[in-house]
Chain A
Amino acid sequence: MAKTNISDSAATRWLVVFSQLLSLAALALGLQFVINTTGGTLFLFSSIGPLLVMASSAAVLGLGIARLRRRHSLFQVASFEPGQVVFRQGETGDCVYFIQSGAVEVLRSDDGTESVVARLSSGQYFGEMALLTSQPRNATVRTLTASRLVLLGKQNFLTMLRVMPSTREDILKTVQDRAMEQTGS
């Protein structure tokens, strides 16, 4: 059973859009009140308006706090079902993943066609490129089997590289090897 679905991009987007629509509705009530002040418009604006603003603010601030916590997370464990997407190409990267158990495949989409560029298993890691380059994810990662992944937030990952030079060299070598595999040289 998935403990946390890290790649909630669709749900996150819907939450963001929904909160924006709630705020837009609150602003519309205010506009209606200021243009035509009656008992009804006053009642709607003064009772429903604040509730809409509070709900949308809570959603956005909750999302921000969740993102901030994930960015600064220290080894958060997440379980994934087979075939579940961990993250998609183009998303913002905020953590690196260490495979505790299971297997994943790395997919790259070029010109609409998706191809498998690598398969990773227990003991390996992925997602470091986006953190090192501050670029969006350059591939989609999907689980092949039921997997447990350990997440390390971006800030802690970069701190780890800074304080542990040997780890930094290992990771940079892996990044270089993967880049060479992808270019075929």
Chain B
Amino acid sequence: MTTLMRRLKYLTAFCACNALVPHVQAARLPFENDPAEYYGSRFFLAMLLLGAGLILCSLIRYRGRLQGPMSWALLIAGVVVVPSISTMFGTLLVFERAERVEFCGSCHKAMQAYVHDMENPASESLAAIHYRNRYVPRNQCYTCHTSFGLFGTVQAKIAGVVDVHKYYTGNFRRQIQMREPYRNDDCLKCHAGAVKWSVNHEGSKDSILAGKATCLGCHRQAHPAHTLSK
């Protein structure tokens, strides 16, 4: 293959990667793009295409025969090395993309009502207020429904896998319910350090921090967590 043909091939592959991936991120503003996710997803896509290319090349050229080192090299690269690297990178991408609001909303029957309420500018629910004012700048569902620290992340990921499994096997109730009452900690992880919160909760701060009073015990009356339309 001439140098020109080889360069054209690489250029085509690069354009294909860049053409495909931005489609996924079309809804995000430029400053919202995480460089790690931006380049990681392109690298992941390039690895997928490379792996597919190696496998197809091996299938077309050798048709399952193992003759010589090149056939083995293509086989091991296409079946073992590239897919393994792709799977590892893809797993990182899974963790990143599973935190997005649009991902939560993709389970339409279970979650769409909550996402709609949150994104509704006229809604007065806590979720909508936090979303509308960008008190939570991004990944709003995940941020509010994940406990603090590494273990909170692990719990959230495990719960997410269970939820996805339940959704696609049809084992969920409408209307869905939380596994346990919403914890004070999940509000306090953002609010507890704020001066405004300390001033407004001067009289109840101790009981809230001790868990004797719940945040939603008061706030649900004025602004429920979510307001779902019938």
A-side residues, CB < 8 A to B, are 12-17, 19-20, 22-24, 26-28, 30-31, 33-40, 42-43, 45-46, 49-50, 53, 56-57, 60-61, 63-64, 67, 92, 136
Contact = CB atoms under 8 A, between A and B. Distances in A.
Interface string B147-189: 0000000000000010011011000000000000000000000
B78 A20 contact: yes
B168 A45 contact: no
Nearest to A15: B64
A45 B94 contact: yes
> Closest 5 interchain pairs by CB?
A13-B64, A38-B106, A17-B64, A16-B64, A23-B79
Contacts, number: 124
B93 to A, nearest CB: 7
B52 interface: yes
Chain B residues touching A, range: 35 or more
B45 interface: yes
Contact of B103 (A14, A37, A50, A60): A37
Contact of B87 (A16, A19, A30, A60): A30
A23 B64 contact: no
B192 interface: no
Tell me the interface secondary structure of chain B in the complex: helix
B80 A57 contact: yes
Contacts of B131: none
B93 A34 contact: yes
B106 A39 contact: yes
Interface string B55-76: 1101100011111100010011
A30 B78 contact: no
Contacts of B168: 39-40, 43
B97 A23 contact: no
Interface string B90-104: 110110011010110
Given A39-B106, A45-B90, A92-B68, A30 B48 contact: yes
A83 B80 CA distance: 37
B159 to A, nearest CB: 13
